[in-house]
């Protein structure tokens, strides 16, 4: 137990303490070990939950709220297990001084893992309160029941004792009981019901505070000099004009960090514009037009994610063979809030506000960069204005801390829109070839897929590469290819690319064999969860009527999705009119939260299908801004129906990502249905004839 935890446990209240590294089984997908297996083997215990002396509850988690609704979802879980009203639960997130260590908020793990840990903590607290009441009332614990923040004899509600009276201002600590029975779905009173977001009022009144809004007394605004092209080296810099500009408090040239610090953001930007800098730039940068060849020719480290039977035997047994290549460009996460960081030193200790998905990871990086101990650093993650994977890297947190140290005052470093879309990571570009062997009845007998994914982190491209269709002879291989732009996390990582290729290919087979696309998939699917989402989506959508329909299925983070699309094409503009998604993410804690995530995934995935692609040349991103990078807007938005069809008895799996994996293929397949044009390359509006 760390000393911080020990101090916390001396505060009045009933505390529940548990291991930070949670022993939950990892998801069984092949990417799981690569993606999630690096959980820090930190054996330190931490406080997960406190019932305060007044009977209200505070839950602690290292996860970050960037819109996905986890503050609401986790509060719902705690309220239900502790038998208290939702309004009496507060959830404290992502403040490294207060919450259990966490690897980061990605891979849809908040409900699946931390939610379960908090349910156990809440159930442990409830059981402890029942046992305290048993002593007080001199009754066996089994005759008592907790409800509405009180414990009462089952037979006599008038003898109810409020939690506050049981705690009576004492400090009590319990360990999380890992084996404790959690509330069964049939007995839920808060989980599974419709709730408004607990943070809704703050979000509609401007009271929600994001990193961009943090301004400690005396704060200076920094404008940091950034390279004009990737890999450019600073040859010389002259700050003499900039430092005489109005409002400039300080200029900094500290190794690789050159900045102007001023009393307003505008004055910092104006002064930075007159910094005289000479750069040495590379001249060998590829452009986005080089990507397909580059991906294919630079692919290395083949990794087989799925293998069965013998491919040559499968293709010999096939009555037909289809081979096709699919391409997806880099796309930008482009969250609405550009990243910002604010640092304030107090003696040898620094507090950094940063809207990152990895507060503890950033703390470690900061300690290394500054040569100080992690205990000297507090990272606070305020509200985060969207991320979708791109706010894991957060180099400006280090810049802000360094500049604040030099200035002796709080300093803010913020990206503008162009910075946010330039000094960022992008969803990896991918080129995928698929060769399938089939019989005339639609049975797939052989499947060879080779995926070339940009970037040096192989697990990005492996995710979702396995075919879910029953196929006797299979080999799926992913390759790591050179990446001219930094590739990084984006909702479902390579899952979206792999699904696009596979689900368009299945549609091509269906068209070739004149089999209905839903029927084609059902003929090759055995997994009952897959079959169910597909059947439910087709039924709810009214599949089969009218031109312009497309379907696709997918699995991601253990959750299953099937998507049907209705669209129209006018010239070079495709308009998605209606989308139906059936989603099975197991037990649903917060149905409206899941629907909201599914809708968001579909709109975002629609953007990648129709419009979005990073253009780059000479080491420069050419469309870092909303003038030249189109994203979906209100008048592009389709009507979306989400059908939840998971079982209450199946553990919760992720809801933030699965709905994005089928949508691009469903749209491309609908374009084929509408126009007869087969789209194998995104964004498809660049392909429409």
Partner 1 sequence: MVTLRINGQPHEAAEPGRNLLSFIRYEAGLTGTKYGCGEGLCGACTVLVDGQALRSCTTTVGAVAGGDITTIEGLATDGALHPVQQAFVDESAMQCGYCIPGFIMTSVALLARDAHPGSAQIREALALNMCRCGTYQRILRAVEQAAQRTGGEGS
Tell me how many residues contact partner 1 (CB under 8 A). Answer: 59
The reply to whether 483 sits near partner 1 by the rule CB under 8 A is no
Question: Is the CB of residue 427 less than 8 Å from the CB of residue 333?
Answer: yes
CA distances 17 to 2, 124, 170, 178, 287, Å, are 11, 10, 16, 11, 53
The span from the CA of 677 to the CA of 687, in Å, is 9
Using CA atoms, how far apart are residues 426 and 493, in angstroms rounded to an integer? 10
> Does residue 405 belong to the site contacting partner 1 (CB under 8 A)?
no
**Binder to partner 1 among 87, 209, 273, 526 (CB under 8 A)?**
209
Name the DSSP letter for residue 88.
G
Q: Which is nearer to partner 1, 389 or 461 (CB)?
A: 389
Q: Which is nearer to partner 1, 641 or 681 (CB)?
A: 641
Q: Pick from 157, 201, 241, 526: which binds partner 1 (CB under 8 A)? A: 201
To the nearest whole angstrom, how small is the minimum distance from the Cβ of residue 675 to partner 1? 25
Range 237-266, binding partner 1 (CB under 8 A) = 264-266
Using alpha carbons, select from 10, 44, 11 the residue that is nearest to residue 360: 44
Binding-site member from 188, 210, 303, 315 for partner 1 (CB under 8 A):
210
How near is the Cβ of 414 to partner 1 at its closest, in Å?
Answer: 8
Helices (H) and strands (E) in the chain, counts: 18, 30
The tokens describing 391, both together, are 């706010």
565 binds partner 1 (CB under 8 A): no
Pick between residue 212 and residue 351 the one whose CB is nearest to partner 1. 212
The 33-72 site mask, x for binding partner 1 (CB under 8 A), equals: ---------------------------------xxxx---
**Among the listed residues 5, 24, 10, 3, the one whose alpha carbon sits nearest the alpha carbon of residue 118:** 24
What are phi and psi for residue 501, nearest 5 degrees? Answer: -60, -50
Minimum CB distance to partner 1 smaller for 468 or for 600 = 600
Q: Does 328 bind partner 1 (CB under 8 A)?
A: no
Phi/psi of residue 56, nearest 5 degrees: -80, 165
Specify the stretch interacting with partner 1 by CB under 8 A; choose among 174-182, 341-349, 403-411, 634-642: 634-642
Report how far residue 374's alpha carbon sits from residue 367's, in angstroms, rounded to the nearest whole number: 5
**Binding of partner 1 by 335 (CB under 8 A):** yes
Q: Based on the shown chain and the rule CB under 8 A, indicate whether residue 601 belongs to the binding site for partner 1.
A: yes
Residue 603 contacts partner 1 per CB under 8 A = yes
Among residues 205, 236, 283, 570, which is the contact residue for partner 1, using CB under 8 A? Answer: 205
- The yes or no reply on residue 577 touching partner 1 (CB under 8 A) is no
Are the C-beta atoms of residues 102 and 114 closer than 8 Å to each other? yes
Find the shortest distance in angstroms from Cβ 688 to partner 1.
21
**488 Cβ partners below 8 Å, 6+ apart?**
389, 390, 392, 393, 424, 425, 426, 427, 428, 455, 460
Select the residue interacting with partner 1 from 57, 589, 602, 679 (CB under 8 A): 602
Please name the residues in contact with 184: beta carbons below 8 A apart, sequence gap of 6 or more: none
Residues making contact with partner 1 (CB under 8 A): 66-69, 196-197, 199-210, 212-213, 215, 264-266, 334-338, 383-388, 416-417, 592, 596-597, 599-604, 625-627, 631-640
């Amino acid at each position: 137990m760390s000393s911080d935890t020990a101090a916390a446990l001396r505060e009045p209240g009933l505390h529940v303490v548990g291991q930070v590294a949670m022993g939950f089984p990892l998801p069984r997908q092949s990417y799981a070990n690569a993606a999630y297996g690096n959980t820090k083997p930190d054996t330190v215990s931490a406080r997960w939950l406190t019932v305060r002396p007044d009977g209200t509850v505070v839950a602690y988690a290292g996860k970050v709220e960037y819109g996905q609704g986890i503050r609401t979802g986790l509060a719902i879980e705690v309220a239900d297990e502790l038998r208290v009203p939702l309004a009496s639960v507060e959830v404290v997130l992502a403040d490294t001084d207060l919450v259990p260590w966490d690897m980061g908020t990605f891979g849809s793990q908040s409900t699946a893992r931390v939610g379960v840990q908090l349910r156990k903590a809440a159930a442990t607290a409830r059981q402890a309160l029942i046992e305290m009441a048993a002593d007080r009332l001199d009754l066996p614990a089994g005759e008592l029941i907790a409800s509405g923040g009180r414990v009462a004899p089952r037979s006599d509600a008038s003898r109810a004792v409020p939690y506050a009276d049981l705690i009576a201002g004492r400090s009590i600590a319990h360990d999380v009981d890992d084996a404790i029975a959690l509330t069964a779905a049939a007995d839920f009173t808060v989980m599974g019901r419709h709730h408004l977001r607990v943070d809704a009022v703050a979000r509609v009144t401007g009271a929600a505070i994001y990193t961009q809004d943090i301004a400690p007394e005396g704060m200076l605004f920094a404008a940091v000099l950034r390279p004009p092209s990737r890999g450019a080296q600073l040859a010389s810099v002259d700050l003499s004009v900039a430092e005489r500009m109005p409002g400039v408090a300080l200029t900094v040239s500290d190794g690789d960090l050159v900045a102007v610090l001023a009393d307003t953001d505008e004055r910092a930007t104006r002064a930075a514009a007159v910094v005289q800098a000479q750069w040495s730039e590379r001249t060998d940068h590829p452009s986005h037009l080089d990507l397909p060849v580059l991906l294919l020719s630079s692919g290395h480290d083949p990794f087989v994610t799925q293998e069965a039977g013998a491919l040559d035997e499968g293709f010999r047994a096939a009555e037909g063979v289809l081979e096709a290549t699919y391409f997806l460009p880099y796309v930008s996460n482009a969250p609405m809030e550009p990243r910002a960081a604010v640092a304030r030193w107090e003696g040898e200790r620094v507090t950094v506000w940063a809207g990152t998905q990895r507060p503890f990871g950033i703390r470690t990086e900061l300690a290394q960069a500054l040569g100080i101990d992690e205990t000297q650093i507090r990272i606070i993650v305020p509200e985060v204005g969207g991320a979708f994977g791109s706010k894991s890297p957060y180099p400006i947190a280090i810049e802000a801390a360094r500049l604040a140290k030099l200035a002796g005052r709080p300093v803010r470093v913020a990206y503008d829109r162009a910075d946010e879309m330039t000094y960022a990571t992008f969803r990896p570009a991918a080129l995928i070839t698929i060769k399938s062997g089939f019989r005339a009845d639609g049975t797939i007998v052989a499947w060879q897929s080779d995926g070339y994914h940009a970037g040096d982190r192989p697990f990005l491209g492996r995710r979702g590469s396995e075919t879910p269709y029953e196929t006797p002879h299979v080999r799926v291989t992913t390759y790591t290819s050179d990446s001219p732009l930094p590739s990084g996390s984006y909702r479902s990582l390579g899952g979206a690319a792999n699904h696009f290729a596979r689900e368009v290919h299945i549609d091509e087979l269906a068209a070739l064999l004149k089999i209905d696309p839903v029927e084609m998939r059902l003929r090759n699917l055995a997994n009952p969860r897959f079959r169910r989402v597909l059947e439910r989506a087709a039924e709810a959508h009214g599949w089969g009527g009218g031109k312009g329909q497309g379907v696709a299925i997918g699995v991601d983070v253990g959750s299953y999705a099937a998507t049907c699309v209705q669209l129209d094409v006018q010239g070079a503009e495709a308009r998605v009119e209606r989308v139906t998604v059936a989603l099975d993410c197991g037990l649903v804690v917060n149905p409206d939260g899941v629907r909201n995530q599914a809708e968001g995934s579909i709109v975002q995935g629609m953007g990648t299908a129709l419009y979005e692609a990073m253009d780059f040349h000479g080491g420069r991103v050419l469309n870092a801004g909303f003038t030249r990078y189109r994203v979906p807007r209100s008048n592009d938005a389709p009507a979306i129906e989400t059908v939840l069809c998971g079982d209450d008895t199946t553990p919760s799996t992720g809801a933030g990502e699965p709905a994005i994996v089928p949508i691009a293929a469903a749209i491309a397949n609908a374009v084929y249905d509408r126009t007869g044009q087969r789209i194998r390359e995104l964004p498809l509006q660049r392909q429409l004839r």
